[in-house]
Amino acid sequence: MISFIRNLVGVKTDQAVQSAVEALVRWDPKAATEAELRTMEEHLDSLGLQVAQARAAYEKEQKEADAILQLSRQRMAAAEHLQRQMESEADAGRKAQLEKSLETLVGMLEQMAPDIDREEQDAVDAREFLTMLETTYAEAGGKLKAARSALQRAERDMGRAAQQRDMAEQRAEAARQAAGLSGATSSLGTALKAMQDAAARDLAQAEASSAKARLLKPSKPEEDDPNIKAALDAATGAKPAPSSLSDRLASLKSRH
């Protein structure tokens, strides 16, 4: 029989198992990344395999302990039976034979005692080791589940935050565009008002000029009545336009 102690030592000295268990025990899932989750999941898979192996080893050791204990009880019962036979036997020869058989059984029981203790301790150690691995496995599984849930929640929060940021940027852009349109409309209104004011001023100026022209323009009677026209020309010093050829020639000579 291969002692479970040797198996236990072999498992405990397995660096892969040690690394997996230590990593899972020390691991804080609060700020775990996706890469860390995958690493911890690999450790958990490795630990799960060790749990299965430890359970099989425990069951084997427990069966061996139960078997040797049952054999010891059977031999003890047989020894007690031989002792009763020997005590009640009257024949000296038969009694000597029974005593020899009893001595053989007692010797076998004495030799079995250390094996029984060892097998029982192996089963206890196997059970404790299995319990430790199962506890670590359950705790690590809970950590991994919580970390996975937290990471998914964080990813959803990041997605919502990104969506809200995009919406805020879109609202800001719309506000900027609205502000630009408002400014452009305001500028257009200012320019239009300036144009309207300029047009009004030009119209007023034209009206004033027209009124002045009408005011200064001679009235119709002054143009139609030659006597009034001649009197006005005389009053203003204007000379009458030459009408005969002699007057026209004289007018041309006076210019030179």
Burial group, residue 55, by CB count within 10 angstroms (0-12, 13-18, 19+): middle
Q: Are 21 and 136 in contact (CB under 8 A)?
A: yes
Give me the domain span that covers residue 221.
Answer: 187-230
What CATH number should be reported for the domain holding residue 80? Answer: 1.10.287
Q: Which pTM value belongs to this model?
A: 0.50
* Together in a domain, 57 and 10: yes
* Together in a domain, 115 and 224: no
Q: Are 40 and 144 in contact (CB under 8 A)?
A: yes
Residue 227's identity, in one-letter code, is N
Burial group, residue 140, by CB count within 10 angstroms (0-12, 13-18, 19+): buried
Higher pLDDT, 30 or 134: 134
* Together in a domain, 27 and 67: yes
* Together in a domain, 203 and 78: no
In-domain check, residue 135: yes
Indicate if the pLDDT at residue 27 is higher than 80.
no
- Mean pLDDT, to the nearest integer, of 117-142? 90
* Together in a domain, 151 and 197: no
* Together in a domain, 15 and 133: yes
Find where tokens 């002054």 sit.
222
In-domain check, residue 244: no
Q: Count of CB atoms within 10 A of residue 229's CB? A: 16
* Together in a domain, 148 and 54: yes
Computed over every residue of the chain, the mean pLDDT equals 75
Indicate if the pLDDT at residue 60 is higher than 50.
yes
* pLDDT at residue number 58: 92
* pLDDT at residue number 105: 87
* pLDDT at residue number 23: 58
* Together in a domain, 9 and 122: yes
User: Number of structural domains, the chain?
Assistant: 2
In-domain check, residue 31: yes
* pLDDT at residue number 6: 41
* pLDDT at residue number 5: 37
* Together in a domain, 139 and 28: yes
* Together in a domain, 193 and 100: no
In-domain check, residue 134: yes
Indicate if the pLDDT at residue 71 is higher than 80.
yes
Task: Determine if residue 237 is left, alpha or beta; phi over 0 gives left, psi from -120 to 50 gives alpha, anything else beta.
Answer: left
* pLDDT at residue number 234: 66
Q: Of the ranges 92-106, 123-137, 231-245, which one carries the lowest mean pLDDT score? A: 231-245
- Mean pLDDT, to the nearest integer, of 27-48? 71
Per-residue pLDDT of 156-199, as tens digits, reads 877 888 888 888 888 887 777 776 655 555 565 676 677 777 77
In-domain check, residue 171: no
In-domain check, residue 114: yes
Residue 38's identity, in one-letter code, is R
In-domain check, residue 99: yes
Task: Report the helix count and the strand count for the chain, using DSSP H and E.
Answer: 7, 0
Per-residue pLDDT of 82-128, as tens digits, reads 899 888 888 889 889 988 988 998 999 899 899 999 999 999 999 99
Residue 31's identity, in one-letter code, is A
* Together in a domain, 36 and 76: yes
